[in-house]
Amino acid sequence: MKKQKTLTGRKGFTLLELMAALSIIVLVAASVYGAFSAGISAWDRAFNESEALLNARSTLKLITRDIKSVVSAEPILTKNLGKLNREYFYLAGGEDKLQMICYSRPVSLYWPENFPRRSDFCKVSYYFEALEQGSEINVLKRKVTWDKAVLPWKEEEIEAFEGITGLHISYFNNSDWVTEWDTGKKKSSTGFHGLLPRLIKVGVMAASGGVRSNTEYLEAIMGVTAYER
């Protein structure tokens, strides 16, 4: 009669071997997790930097475009108003706010005159305000008010720029940089010389969203076409 083999004589794993194997597994898992976590952090940091930079760049580009379209050139005024009007030389603001009268070109030069459209002139305002009523989050807003807006156009439009945390504006008055400007407070009552600053410096600070936010700051200096007789 053949004898059956039993498992009692088979050698098993000792506790020391199990602990060594477990330690190797933990070390491998930790190294893999570390490399994966470093890759995620690098991607997250790059994404936040690009997001903040994009917010700052797009906002600065829009403000720059509006400042460059401030009504301050004789050909534009004489063509559209028939005479020079001091009220259209308007620019007022502080370090974190700005209001100005801008000249807006038509959407298309080929539109018929009776086609619904906006007027050529508009008032543009930049200011910080709560994102919505009751909100504790302040955002930069841009309000455009048109002199004339035929339906379906709106007479007033407001847009918010989330992610913009700071706005730093200064004005050059031929000799010094100042943090406030107001054409309405200038002494000249009939002339146009000196109403507008020669240069305007605009700095925009933007932050990305998420837990690991990133902040970027961009600055630009632009000249304002001044009317001089």
Q: Is the peptide bond before 152 cis (omega within 30 degrees of 0)?
A: yes
Q: Is residue 11 part of a domain?
A: no
Say if residue 229's pLDDT is above 50.
Answer: no
Q: Are 142 and 121 in contact (CB under 8 A)?
A: no
Q: Is residue 92 part of a domain?
A: yes
Q: Is residue 111 part of a domain?
A: yes
Q: Is residue 2 part of a domain?
A: no
Q: Is residue 68 part of a domain?
A: yes
Q: Is residue 16 part of a domain?
A: no
**What is the distance between the alpha carbons of residues 98 and 81, in angstroms, rounded to a whole number?**
24
**What is the distance between the alpha carbons of residues 176 and 194, in angstroms, rounded to a whole number?**
13
| Tens of pLDDT, residues 81-131 | 545 555 677 899 999 999 998 877 554 445 555 666 677 788 899 999 987
Q: Is residue 86 part of a domain?
A: yes
Give the domain extent around 126.
53-223
Q: Which helix (H) or strand (E) holds 157?
A: strand 156-161
Residue 24's pLDDT is: 84
Q: Is residue 139 part of a domain?
A: yes
**What is the distance between the alpha carbons of residues 99 and 173, in angstroms, rounded to a whole number?**
17
Count structural domains, the chain.
Answer: 1
